[in-house]
């Protein structure tokens, strides 16, 4: 369904946002 695909899209978007934050914190530590 559309709702299911939207949930999967949001999950992928959240994972990508977490990756960006993690990389930013990692660079700040260096």
* The predicted structure's pLDDT at residue 19: 94
* The predicted structure's pLDDT at residue 7: 87
In 1-30, DSSP assigns E strands to none
With a CB cutoff of 8 Å and minimum separation 6, the contacts of 30 are none
Distance CA(30)–CA(11), nearest Å, equals 29
Kindly give the confidence (pLDDT) of every residue in the chain, 30 residues in length, as a single tens digit, with 9 standing for 90 and above.
Answer: 778 888 888 998 899 999 999 999 999 997
| Terminal alpha carbon distance of the chain | 44
* The predicted structure's pLDDT at residue 3: 80
């Amino acid at each position: 369904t559309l709702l299911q695909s939207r949930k999967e899209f949001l999950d992928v978007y959240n994972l990508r946002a977490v990756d960006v934050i993690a990389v930013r914190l990692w660079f700040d530590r260096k």
